[in-house]
Amino acid sequence: MTTKNSPIAKLRAQALKIAKTLKDAECGKATVPDPGGKLAASLAKGEVTVGVAMDDKIIQITMPWATVRETDEAGLVEFILVQMREEAPAH
């Protein structure tokens, strides 16, 4: 598990795994089990909510699938990292 003060490499690896999963799901590649159909339902709804479990908190990130589609993997990683580290977004 990680905290907001964990080494950036460890946080980046966790964020990359999440970003890859989102990009794969958006493209229709099933890389995670979806026995309850929640992933399919979120695709139909047009919005995804991701939970990030950390030692010191649980983050809930909600975004439109259009954002996932239009943002490259590196951009998603950076967005997730900002949330994990509780930083102000870069402008």
Q: Quick one: pLDDT band at residue 1, thresholds 50, 70, 90?
A: confident
Q: Quick one: pLDDT band at residue 75, thresholds 50, 70, 90?
A: very high
- Structure confidence at residue 67 (pLDDT): 95
Output the CA angle 58-34-53, nearest 5 degrees.
Answer: 10
Locate all alpha helices (DSSP H) within the chain, ordered by sequence: 8-26, 38-45, 65-70, 73-85
Q: Quick one: pLDDT band at residue 87, thresholds 50, 70, 90?
A: confident
Q: Quick one: pLDDT band at residue 90, thresholds 50, 70, 90?
A: low
Which amino acid is present at 47? Answer: E
DSSP-assigned letter for residue 49: E
What is the arithmetic mean of pLDDT over 65-71?
Answer: 95
